[in-house]
Structure 1
């Protein structure tokens, strides 16, 4: 189809309606879901989610690496704090029952299920400088995009800038701390691993699907990431997750008090 004229370009564009690609959003989302998308390796996505929404991330090939940032929706100064997430819970390793905390002592999201166990709270994501040195290019439009650069694009869609981006955490590629303090890259658990997060506040979610900074493979290698979100209910008093530890009870109580006072719960 010729596209040398405005009419030709219009007809060509309209002819693409209904076309499918391996990695793309599903619009509208299938019944029962509020978000359904497959994110290519080297791609990114973003969404605002209501409180209680359950966000399921899946690694169908065993080669996805989902780098995640969370912001309180409409209050981006309250954001994921990886250091407090580790420090407050006395645990550097994410898994079912862990909480993703802000620096306000409140819960942004809880990790309600996990079949992977290979995650990282320590290294953050890749940078343009590092990817250029390793792969020859780290630009978001190039063949080996850096996670930090993709986060900047996703953030801009929500009125945020580079200065708003804290260190991220990542799912599906593991890192362990050795006795001497060095970091060991443990890679993927297996194809088909999943993680489900529950939004404990209204959230802005940014995701970059790029290789982990410690991935030793010479080639830029990253599989697709499946994203599915459905409506749900936030964690409440009496839930085992709420009462799991003294730290979780305090964090959930801080969150409930703040949201109730602001008419958000």
Structure 2
């Protein structure tokens, strides 16, 4: 791994956003175990292009996401590749909690009383971040929940896997095009904890190595090869180098 460009810690129940340049990797670490990081992706040069969960799952024939998978935009391009996932399963379907959900599970939030320990919810947190870029409710697509696992039981009911992410688990996202990343550390909507969960996430950025011809993400599905080719054509037209193939 290349030298670290910067490192930061996103505190519990917080939200943030940043543009990650093509050719860079976000290294995400769960310091204490039990974290949840809800993420969305947009093209900073055309905010109408954003993460598409159905296409991401459909084209890779999967319900879960993990190392070797790619995260697609609604234009058939690859925002980023999952080059490492210590957890083995990233939730792709459960979304985020809203104000009512958090109130019913953990009590009403009250910033005037609790200050920075208030019970923020993922929906409002993401909405605050996208508003910084002129986006709103209609622009909140289905998100990912990194460090969380939701699976089905024998009857087909969705189940939250308690204790899925362990202390020190790392997920690495290698960005294949410039991407606006929006995220929050608010708790997962299906977390059964009796007390409002508060977990931070460490974030580092490093320069990515060039994508090799035998790259796992590139070759894990034939569709991914086509996604990388879509990136190559898009980046060539925009005057950027893909650093690939």
TM-score by length of 1: 0.82
Consecutive unaligned residues of structure 1, counting only runs of 5 or more, are 1-30
- Do 1:151 and 1:207's aligned partners in 2 also have CA atoms closer than 8 Å? yes
Give, in angstroms, the shift of residue 62 of structure 1: 0.5
Consecutive unaligned residues of structure 2, counting only runs of 5 or more, are none
Q: Report the equivalent of 2:161.
A: 186
Q: Report the equivalent of 2:224.
A: 248
Q: Match of 1:119, SS?
A: coil
Q: Report the equivalent of 1:55.
A: 26
- Do 1:67 and 1:147's aligned partners in 2 also have CA atoms closer than 8 Å? yes
Give, in angstroms, the shift of residue 100 of structure 1: 0.6
1:152-163 paired onto structure 2 within 5 Å: 152-163=127-138
CA 1:139–1:239 in structure 2 vs 1: closer, same or farther (change >3 Å)? Answer: farther
Q: Report the equivalent of 2:86.
A: 115
Q: Which whole-Å CA distance do the structure 2 matches of 1:69 and 1:209 have between them?
A: 12
CA 1:97–1:173 in structure 2 vs 1: closer, same or farther (change >3 Å)? Answer: same
Give, in angstroms, the shift of residue 34 of structure 1: 3.6
Q: Report the equivalent of 2:74.
A: 103
Q: Which whole-Å CA distance do the structure 2 matches of 1:90 and 1:66 have between them?
A: 23
Q: If you compute each CA radius of gyration, which structure gives the higher value, 1 or 2?
A: 1
Q: Which whole-Å CA distance do the structure 1 matches of 2:110 and 2:4 have between them?
A: 33
Q: Match of 1:149, SS?
A: helix
Q: Report the equivalent of 2:17.
A: 46
Q: Match of 2:161, SS?
A: strand
Q: Which whole-Å CA distance do the structure 2 matches of 1:247 and 1:159 have between them?
A: 32
Q: Which whole-Å CA distance do the structure 1 matches of 2:58 and 2:202 have between them?
A: 30
Q: Report the equivalent of 2:180.
A: 204
Q: Which has the higher contact order (CA 8 A, sep 6+)?
A: 2
- 2:202 corresponds, among 201, 222, 226, to 226
Q: Report the equivalent of 1:215.
A: 191
Give, in angstroms, the shift of residue 238 of structure 1: 4.5
1:65-80 paired onto structure 2 within 5 Å: 65-80=36-51
CA 1:179–1:253 in structure 2 vs 1: closer, same or farther (change >3 Å)? Answer: farther
Q: Report the equivalent of 1:82.
A: 53
Q: Which whole-Å CA distance do the structure 1 matches of 2:66 and 2:82 have between them?
A: 7
CA 1:155–1:220 in structure 2 vs 1: closer, same or farther (change >3 Å)? Answer: same
TM-score by length of 2: 0.89
Q: Match of 1:197, SS?
A: strand
